[in-house]
Structure 1
Amino acid sequence: MFDIKPFPTFSWSFSRYKTLASCARKYGYDYYFAHNGWLHHDVEPFHQYVYRLKKLQSMPLLFGQIVHHLIEQTLNEYMQTGTTATQAELVQRARGQLNTAYIDSTRYMEQWRYKPNRFHMMQEIYYDGQLDAALVQTYRERLPIVVTHFLQSETFQYITAKRGSLRIGEPEQFRSMKIDDIQVFVVMDFHYYDELAEQWVIIDWKTGGESDDDRQQLALYAYYIQQKYRVPLEKIAVYNEYLLTGKRKKYQFTATDMDNMLYTFRHSVLEMKKFQADILVNEPVDVEDFPQTVEEWHCRSCNFKELCRR
């Protein structure tokens, strides 16, 4: 039976680190006050409310999730059958999923309120009542572009050419390791071992632009592979595939990169522990003790802005 705990287990991930860096109040909502909000009984309505807001999906987030899922399906199908759907078929699949999210958001709001993990709710529709026409047009135009760039990417072309010599890791799986006795979660888009080149390859698909955080996020992935398989860093190649532009960027990490990543991890953990009222059970301080960001541009795209306004 699933063990219901009053407080979440403390862990670390790159997304958790980024959330705290952007806004401590959002961090509190995401990682503490939404806890147990999926339950229908024996839970305060406040936690259910926060959990519902956490499940909102903005158009950029939803688009990225759908494209990543589409890539995962395409790679699995190719490895199992040796065949690939056409660009038009993949675009149609993605449009179907976007349409489903729109229908859920406009017709099934009450069902979403009761089961927010079963139905989609688009953030823009929840807050504004509709999707901006320009936003819809932007992502309608982006979809065939990112699908085409995926099919034409060096990564996909190499996989289809070297299928028999690659050991493919399960994509998009939650993996974890211990650093300083803290559970660290790592979710890699795609990785494989190339027997001909005798190296591990990590791929991160991006549906948006480049970010200053990309290097440290990928350094964490390289550290995971290094620790799990006991291989030197020079045997690990890491790539960003930017699907909007078709650009590919390679990273070759050094021991200095690992030291920098571990420094970021340890400094972040210290910041996170400031918000624990009881470190043994990971009980948080009061919600008011999670300060709101002073950079209000973060608030415009935040799922929890309704709570902060109140």
Structure 2
Amino acid sequence: MPILFGQIVHHIIEQTIVHYLQTGEVPTVAELVNRARGQLNAAFIDSTRNRDLWIQKPNKFYMMQEVYYDGKLEPAIVADYKERMHTIFENFLHSETFQQITASKGSLRIGEPEQFRTMKIDDTQVFVVMDFHYFDEVADKWIIIDWKTGGESDDDRQQLALYAYYVQEKYRVPLENIEVYNEYLKTGQRKKYLLTHFDIENTLHTFQRSVLEMKKYQADIFTNEPIDFEDFEQTSEEWQCLRCNYKELCVHGKGK
């Protein structure tokens, strides 16, 4: 549910920005809430009534993890997200980012939001999906925005550092000409990160280390064939099992 909700919110925000840039129209909170509610209901219907269709074509239908494993959505979860929707979209429309878009439309060069972009790091293809970025001609700055529907995370800074590195490489601009922000829609707070070259170096080091870790699970690097199933160690941190999509591969779905 948290991932699905975040995806729906991000998609609606993208549509709202594109529609505003094309027409100058700003929707109401109620309109955005109704759109999100409709998409959540469609996902629930798919998960509960179209299981066989999802098994045949999993990329064409939704399957909510909670419904797949538990057979239902807890009423408390449904109530929480119904209440959260209004706050999220109200904070988006009043966010500093959206206010800047509506106030400075002529001086902003908008990058395509939510598009798959790629770059190479040490011969490894990396997919970068930025929520929103634009060039402010007045400030002579590239601005990167990442919308968050949940709470603050220790990974937020590093995620934005990767986006900043992409902009550096793509547009050949110095880090000093790039500003990065998180818009935390649940609280309405906006956080700016003052990235340094150390942040970029640390992000690249983390990436390189992660690639090496993942390659340990390749039996053949040319065909990308994995090692045997039994060689994938199971986690000892059982809290991670709660949201794991592969619980049924484990004994009793408990990861041990």
Query: Shorter-normalised TM-score: what interval?
Result: over 0.9
Paired residue for 2:168?
226
| Higher mean displacement: 131-140 or 115-124 | 115-124
Paired residue for 1:283?
225
| Alignment of structure 1 residues 185-264 onto 2, 5 Å | 185-264=127-206
Paired residue for 2:27?
85
Given that 1:276 and 1:283 are in contact with CA atoms closer than 8 Å, whether structure 2 keeps it comes out as yes
User: Residues of 1 paired with 2:116 and 2:29: CA distance?
Assistant: 29
Paired residue for 2:210?
268
User: Residues of 2 paired with 1:232 and 1:244: CA distance?
Assistant: 32
CA-to-aligned-CA distance 1:229-270 (integer Å, 9 cap, x gap): 111111000000000000100012111111111110111111
Moved >4 Å (runs of 4+): none
Measured after TM superposition, the shift of residue 281 of structure 1 is 2.3
Measured after TM superposition, the shift of residue 280 of structure 1 is 2.2
Measured after TM superposition, the shift of residue 283 of structure 1 is 1.6
Measured after TM superposition, the shift of residue 98 of structure 1 is 0.6
Unaligned ranges ≥5, structure 1: 1-58
SS of 1:172's equivalent? coil
Given that 1:276 and 1:282 are in contact with CA atoms closer than 8 Å, whether structure 2 keeps it comes out as yes
Q: Which amino acid aligns with 1:89?
A: E
SS of 1:193's equivalent? strand
User: Residues of 2 paired with 1:130 and 1:283: CA distance?
Assistant: 36
CA-to-aligned-CA distance 1:27-61 (integer Å, 9 cap, x gap): xxxxxxxxxxxxxxxxxxxxxxxxxxxxxxxx111
User: Residues of 1 paired with 2:165 and 2:136: CA distance?
Assistant: 18
Normalising by structure 2, report the TM-score: 0.96
Matched, 1:118 2:68: no
Matched, 1:155 2:97: yes
Paired residue for 2:241?
299
Normalising by structure 1, report the TM-score: 0.80
Paired residue for 2:82?
140
User: Residues of 1 paired with 2:160 and 2:15: CA distance?
Assistant: 23
Q: Which amino acid aligns with 1:160?
A: T
User: Residues of 2 paired with 1:106 and 1:267: CA distance?
Assistant: 40
User: Residues of 1 paired with 2:229 and 2:114: CA distance?
Assistant: 32
User: Residues of 2 paired with 1:121 and 1:265: CA distance?
Assistant: 31
SS of 1:294's equivalent? coil
SS of 1:204's equivalent? strand
CA root-mean-square deviation: 0.9
SS of 1:176's equivalent? strand
CA-to-aligned-CA distance 1:161-196 (integer Å, 9 cap, x gap): 000111111111110101111111111000000001
Measured after TM superposition, the shift of residue 117 of structure 1 is 1.1
Paired residue for 1:35?
none
User: Residues of 1 paired with 2:26 and 2:78: CA distance?
Assistant: 28
| Higher mean displacement: 153-162 or 178-187 | 178-187
Paired residue for 2:126?
184
Higher RCO by CA contacts (8 Å cutoff, separation 6 or greater): 1
Unaligned ranges ≥5, structure 2: none
User: Residues of 1 paired with 2:144 and 2:193: CA distance?
Assistant: 10
Equivalent pairs counted in the alignment come to: 252
